[in-house]
Structure 1
């Protein structure tokens, strides 16, 4: 009989995992459940729901640090930070609508466990670069903590970074501590219209290597730009290459002028000011273009920045009906493909390999598809052996989200 365990304290969380270990009963680990569709389907007899472990437990704006229990909604954290004009600089997206779940319902533990970062990753790093420490329960049923409240406390094995991207397969977190940063005074975007993928890649590289402190760079083909809530993009009737600049008002205005002068030889330019600019980059962080296309299977492809446009073009040739856009200066390809039993995995991975290497993750597809193919990039034998040893060290009985990443991991 399937049962949902919903602990309200760290001790109850430990008891739940200890029971699962003793009875050898695998657990599906969820906080608020908005990311259950990520990774391979978990075959578990019971669900361990940490949503009752909720609430901000520490916020010191002057020290740029916050702690929150695992089930705390990301929306609650962002609201508290906004009151102090601060932010999570790695810009985590709200992927609920992308995965068929409600908006603004995801948890802070899910963000770190899946290492989700938005377009500002180019400047600020990934989620794992902002976590300082956590409390949790291992797959041995043991309470432990890792890291601390400041960077200098993080000595020895950097277990907080190992927790990130583990998708709940190593530890059930009960509380996390992380860095926060001041929000920028102004956020503008320089737009270059009508570039193809190769020209957009050159434009983004030119902007990123300039002295103008670019925070993000993305390229939206015309069919994706036309779906934006920002009228400048929606009515452009052409592709849009967007360059984001943040900081004090006079500095942002100066840098935008310089960037427009730098890029104007490539195509017509436009400029978004703070409201429209924030809307655009929030759409990209939330992967809104594909939340609006629920019928497509979705891949997230990471390659060298100069290779992204070529990878997308190769897949378009092999898979008619594919839709894409580029983020992270072209190093991140969000790719939607028409439904297929294998999600066109061979074409996707062949294009990545031909580009010189990278990795492709199937973000959205039906459960039977995710069970049948490699959702994450297949690992070489040596790396796969390390992954199995790490899993065995933290979860020797294999009770935490078994098989979420790879069979047996």
Structure 2
């Protein structure tokens, strides 16, 4: 099913007699669900772009590349730095803006500006009864009713099918620089990233690529970036370069095309080196100052069993043999089940994915 309008999509949901697999561009979907595929790619186009108001509204099936091109023409960007998972997951196709919001896909800049959901002003979606629902608006001050826009962000299509999203955008910086620290072990790298992020120098990226380097990014006006880079270098040492490997860090390029399962850990940065040591991983990559760790492990490894309990959660991004998402504590699972029953009472959308 590939409806061309919101009304057609709502009708398709009302007529559904079994599970539905919600798909945007198919470039970042996790896990495998059974059912008829419902593609949103027919809902395409930028509905509104007000550069002066830093606002953009687009239909959910609009390719991210199209959105980014329109913003770049006005000297703007999506601040949360959308990861491109195609190489890592071995996928083709085009990532859609609805899929980005549904996955709450956020790159290295999250440490400074927040996640994708923090920039969602409003959404339109179709619920499990085929009803068209609108929530939010075009300004950050909109506080009417429940914040369903935040709820849908990161729900992976299990609560409703997004048809339109409104986003806050930001100006693109005039300059950038990266401070590179070499020779640090994981614990020293996490400590250095913590110092940088706690400094007044407005670090917009903090990542550690074992065996290659520790990277700290600065963005803004050219004179300011130069001053901040020199000050950060005086504090931590290292060398300054114009560009760092941020696209590769964002897209987890070290594990693309490499055999093994890929896991994503969200955790306290100070816990990360110890957990990585226990994981017995074939490779690792730290982002968000150590609050996000990507691990490459042998195929079929149950990483959750190996790590045991920890303050955070582990997501299986590529591989089989374990649930994709971290099992939820009973109270949270009951709340999540109640939300799914409210928004999708027939259990149509991506059934079992996050249960």
TM-score of the aligned structures, taking structure 2 as reference length: 0.97
1:258 to 231, 235, 239: 231
Q: Secondary structure at the match of 1:84?
A: coil
Matches within 5 A, 1:70-219: 70-102=60-92, 105-219=94-208
Aligned to 1:305: 269
Work out the CA distance in 2 between the residues paired with 1:123 and 1:337: 29
Residue in structure 1 matched with residue 32 of structure 2 by the alignment? 41
1:132 counterpart SS class: strand
Whole-Å Cα distance in 1 between the matches of residues 291 and 153 of structure 2?
Answer: 20
Answer whether contact 2:279 2:303 (CA < 8 A) is retained.
no
Return 5+ residue gaps in structure 2 as ranges.
Answer: none
Contact 1:337 1:343 in 2 (8 A): no
Structure 1: gaps (5+ residues): 226-239
Residue 215 of structure 1 aligns to a residue in which SS? strand
Is the Cα–Cα contact under 8 Å of residues 21 and 33 in structure 2 kept in the other structure? yes
Q: Which residue of 2 aligns with 1:248?
A: 221
Residue 399 of structure 1 is matched in structure 2 by 348
Q: Deviations over 1:138-163 (max 9, x none)?
A: 00111110111111224221100100
For residues 81 and 143 of structure 1, what CA distance do their matches in structure 2 show?
28
Tell me the alpha carbon deviations over residues 232-261 of structure 1, each in whole angstroms, 9 at most, x when there is no partner: xxxxxxxx1111111111111011111111
Structure 1 runs of 4+ off > 6 angstroms?
none
**Aligned partners of 2:26, 2:234: CA distance in 1, in Å?**
47
Matches within 5 A, 1:262-341: 262-264=235-237, 269-273=238-242, 276-277=243-244, 280-293=245-258, 295-316=259-280, 319=281, 322-340=282-300
Deviation string 1:351-400 (CA, Å, 9 cap, x unpaired) is: xx2xx5111101111xxx2xx52221111110000010000000000011
Superposed displacement of residue 343, structure 1: 4.1
CA–CA separation in structure 2 for the residues paired with 1:330 and 1:34:
25
| TM-align CA RMSD | 1.3
Q: Is the 8 A contact 1:309 1:326 kept in 2?
A: no
String of CA shifts for 1:147-206, please: whole Å, max 9, x gaps.
111112242211001001111011111111111000111110001110001111111111
Give the superposition deviation at 1:307: 1.5
> Partner of 1:346: helix, strand, or coil?
helix
Contact 2:120 2:166 (C-alpha < 8 Å) held by counterparts: yes
Q: Secondary structure at the match of 2:157?
A: coil
TM-score by length of 1: 0.84
- Take 1:34 and 1:204, find their aligned partners in 2: how far apart are those partners? 31
Match of 1:54 among 44, 58, 81: 44
**Correspondence for 1:345:** 304
Aligned to 2:141, what secondary structure does the other structure show? helix
Deviates more, 1:115-124 or 1:373-382: 373-382
Q: Offset of 1:113 from its aligned partner?
A: 0.3
| C-alpha distance in structure 2 between counterparts of 1:86 and 1:343, whole Å | 42
Residues 251-293 of structure 1, C-alpha deviations (whole Å, 9 max, x = no match): 11011111111012xxxx12111xx33xx11111111112242
> What residue in structure 1 maps to residue 323 of structure 2?
374
Partner Cα distance (1:31, 1:213) in 2: 34
